[in-house]
Structure 1
């Protein structure tokens, strides 16, 4: 069964690029600009969530904190994507499992997703 990655990204072009890259590496993806409700994420059952720090002028780290509070989502690793200079601090504050600075390196995105998916698989 293919591992699943949920991509929550404000920029449609970045969303499509990340989808294409991850699907090319064998992942199943679902992407959206912003989930209307967190319960909408649960049926997809992602193995990793890539989360933009700026979602329609709202901070993504708030959404990350909310994800970590939902029992059915709390154990899913979250990677914050951002152009913010303090992305490492933002990621730590919201209990994200990792972060990627934009503009990102394709290999970095793939390696971090693979690492967290493998870690998640070993933990379950």
Structure 2
């Protein structure tokens, strides 16, 4: 069974590229600019969530906190994507599992997804 990744990203181009890259790596994906309801996330049942820190001028870390409080989603790894200088602190405060700084190297983003979904160590 394929693992699934939910991509919540404000920028349509980044959403498309990330989705394409992950599909090429064998993942099922769903990408959205912003979830209407948390029930949509639960219904997709992702193995991992890539979450933009800026979702239509709303802070993504607030959504991350909500995700981590829902029993059906609490154990789903969340990786924050952001250009914010303090992304490491933001990720820690909202209990995200990791972060990827934009602009990102494809290998870095894919490596983190692999590490959380497939429990593979990152290659240096």
TM bucket (normalised to shorter chain) is over 0.9
Equivalents in 2 of 1:85, 1:42: separation in Å?
Answer: 30
Q: Secondary structure of the equivalent of 1:34?
A: coil
**Number of aligned positions between the proteins:** 119
TM-fit CA distance, 1:118? 2.1
Gaps of 5+ in 1: 120-124
Q: Once superposed, which parts of structure 1, at least 4 consecutive aligned residues long, lie more than 4 Å away? A: none
Structure 2: runs of 5 or more not aligned? 120-124
Q: Provide the residue aligned with 1:33 in structure 2.
A: 33
Corresponding residue number in structure 2 for 1:42: 42
TM-score (norm 1): 0.95
* 1:103 and 2:99 matched: no
Q: Whole-Å Cα distance in 2 between the matches of residues 99 and 63 of structure 1?
A: 15
Aligned mates of 2:64, 2:108 — CA distance in 1: 21
Scaled by the length of structure 2, the TM-score of the pair is 0.95
Q: Spell out the pairing of 1:1-124 with structure 2 (5 A cutoff).
A: 1-119=1-119
Secondary structure of the structure 2 residue equivalent to 1:31:
strand
Normalized per residue, which structure has more helix? 1
Distance 2:39 2:73 in 1: 9
SS in structure 2 at match of 1:6? strand
Shift of residue 42, structure 1, vs aligned partner: 1.0
Counterpart CA distance in 2 for 1:104 and 1:54 is: 16
RMSD, matched Cα: 0.6
Deviation per CA, 1:58-110: give whole Å up to 9, x if none: 00000000000111011100000000000000000000000000001000111
Query: What is the CA distance between 1:44 and its match in structure 2?
Result: 1.1
SS at match of 1:84: coil
